[in-house]
A and B are shown apart, each in its own frame.
Chain A
Amino acid sequence: MTQALFGQLLVGLINGSFYALLSLGLAIIFGLLDVVNFAHGAQYMLGAYLAWMGLTWLGIGYWVALFAAPAAVGILGMAVERLLLRRLRGLDNLYGLLLTFGLALAVEGLFRQGFGISGNSYPVPAQLTGAKNLGFMVLPIYRAWVVVASLVVCFSSWLVIEKTRLGAYLRAGTENPRMLQAFGVNVPLMFTVTYGFGAALAAFAGVMAAPVYQVTPTMGSQVIIVVFAVVVIGGMGSILGAIVTGLGLGLLEGAAKFFWPEISGTVVFIAMALVLLLRPAGLFGRQR
């Protein structure tokens, strides 16, 4: 009984860790660039595939992939911002949404073409195999690592944004990029780097997800819908909101799986509807 509950809560916490990582990137990108980045799921999937390709074709292991794949996807993201998204600045943010959605479809299509839709599995790295019996439940080491690593990444990102000068630029740019640029800050470069960072976060989540879920071309589009719900519930552009809501909704899903399994797939969207009714700006959002 409690074994099963804790098991579901753990699964929820794992999912929540991925939601938090992904919605953090989305929130940062939306906040500064005013771009609703629908390519986020594709960037997550790319991270997982790069790790898988590295291991299968080149023998590059998990730990290298954990840094190399986000770096590669981050550079790709910067190119996308510089070459494509920048041209849409000043237009309604619907255009950015459509562009990134199109990119996501194109990338997903290419991977489907190349790899088919059946999943590829990725082994858990040797250092993190096995499980620990905690008495009330069995905790696989890799899953504990996912939770800890994503918490560390999320909260250090939050600290940097709230407490450093770089973060002050980011917050100021989120409010009024033109004013910031008039002070002499290279805001266009900030936009490019921020988009790249968001994409890299997604890819980092993708590499971490590879041993947990199947590596498939559609893994990104499956998770991205929930992640958008997380961002809406947390409050568009709110960093802390994205992190807390991501973890919270993962747990909510886990609890639902135990208490009322039929609703577990929709509970996030019910929460979203309720939050939109009661607090349209989101739990942590400020009314603009």
Chain B
Amino acid sequence: MSDGASTEILRVSGLHAFYGESHILHGVDFSVSKGELVTLLGRNGSGRTTTLKAILGLTGKRTGSVLLNGRETIAMPTHRIAHLGLGWCPEERGIFASLSAEENLLLPPAVGSGGMSVAEIYEMFPNLAERRRSPGGRLSGGEQQMLALARILRTGARLLLLDEITEGLAPVIVQALGKAVASLKARGFTIVLVEQNFRFAAPLADRHYLLEHGRIIDQIPAGALGAREPELQRFLGV
């Protein structure tokens, strides 16, 4: 990474994380610079989702170091970490079923300045505007996914952790999400993307990190992707 330390938004070093007795992450190291989109690639169970959760302090015990904008967060409670400008879109989407779509959208408190306005968000996701009064639990999978993404754009979070946002969705919705993520990158958001759908991630990302057994084992810049694709396919088992 040639970027100076001043633009580094996230630096994870020697991160170990546990769920109860199970030791899931075994010293994860990676960093993300301002405005970058990086992916965490790996098979199921390699620790990608756990890495995102560990950054937020949502695992059990965790050790090592997670610097957000240069601040050490390893000992902070989750809600304080979020206020350093973090937005999380979890794999299971985390839509509150008993709240309306709009209540879901307006729920997260501001964690930074300059979040997108509700009007801008509805422009990006017109479906959500139509379904604003529906309970979150009644939305389709695609609508829930858009809502899960939309609701962290309002808060002023500048670093987005997106976990498997295309999982189980129809191609037309995946396409719409791809457009949305590209436009977020263009707006200057910094994004860490955990993705199984390699074809979705490839054109969006600046760099790819490969995870195996709870460690980063390699890093591939977007430019070198073509040459290494067969090897990657094998690695991901797709």
A contact residues vs B (CB 8 Å cutoff): 165, 168-169, 171-172, 174-176, 178-188, 286
B84-107 residues with Cβ-Cβ distance < 8 A to A are: 88, 90, 94, 96-99, 103, 106-107
- The residue that A182 contacts in the complex, of B58, B96, B98, B106, with Cβ under 8 A, is B58
Interface residues of B, CB < 8 Å — how many?
Answer: 23
Q: Residues of B with Cβ closer than 8 Å to A?
A: 56, 58, 77-80, 82-83, 88, 90, 94, 96-99, 103, 106-109, 111, 152, 155
**Distance in angstroms between the alpha carbons of A241 and B232 in the assembled complex:** 55
With contacts A171-B96, A172-B99, A176-B96 taken as known, whether A182 is within 8 angstroms of B56 at the C-beta atoms is yes
B residues in contact with A183, CB < 8 Å: 79, 82, 88, 107-109, 111, 152, 155
CB pair B99–A168 under 8 Å, yes or no, is: yes
Of the A-B pairs whose beta carbons lie under 8 Å apart in the complex, a sample of 8, sorted by A's number, is A175-B98, A176-B94, A176-B96, A178-B78, A183-B108, A183-B109, A183-B111, A183-B152
B12 to chain A, nearest CB (A): 17
A170 to chain B, nearest CB (A): 11
Kindly provide the distance from the CB of B48 to the nearest chain A CB, expressed in whole angstroms: 17
- Shortest Cβ distance from A78 into chain B, in angstroms? 18
Nearest-CB residue, chain A, relative to B87: A183
A176 to B136, CA, bound (A): 13
Q: From known contacts A176-B94, A178-B58, A182-B58, infer whether A169 and B107 are also in contact, taking CB-CB under 8 Å.
A: yes
Is there an interface contact between B94 and A184, defined as CB atoms closer than 8 Å?
no
Min CB–CB distance A91 → chain B (angstroms): 12
Which residue of B has the minimal Cβ distance to A169? B107
In the complex, the number of residue pairs spanning A and B with C-beta atoms less than 8 Å apart equals 60
Q: Which applies to chain B's interface (DSSP): helix, strand, loop or mixed?
A: loop
A182–B80 CA distance with the chains assembled, in angstroms: 9
Residues on A with beta carbons closer than 8 Å to the beta carbon of B80: 184
In the complex, how many angstroms separate the beta carbon of B190 from the nearest chain A beta carbon?
Answer: 17
The residue in chain B whose Cβ has the minimal distance to the Cβ of A173 is B96
Please report the C-alpha to C-alpha distance between residue A132 and residue B88 in the assembled complex, in whole angstroms: 60
Set of chain A residues within 8 Å of B94, measured between Cβ atoms:
176, 179, 182
Give the chain B neighbours of A179 by CB distance below 8 A.
90, 94, 96
In the complex, what distance in Å separates the CA atom of A276 from the CA atom of B114? 51
Assess whether A186 is in contact with B79, with CB atoms less than 8 Å apart: yes
Q: Which chain B residue shows the least CB distance to A172?
A: B96
A286 to B96, CA, bound (A): 14
How far is B106's CA from A165's CA once the two chains are assembled, in angstroms? 9
- Nearest 10 interchain pairs by C-beta: A184-B82, A183-B108, A179-B94, A181-B78, A172-B96, A184-B83, A184-B111, A186-B79, A181-B79, A175-B96
Contact of B79 among A175, A176, A184 (CB under 8 A): A184
Contact residues in A for B56 (Cβ distance below 8 Å): 182
Question: Do A182 and B82 have beta carbons less than 8 Å apart?
Answer: yes
**Contact pick for B97, options A175, A178, A181, A182, CB 8 Å:** A175
Residues from chain B with a CB closer than 8 A to the CB of A174 are: 98
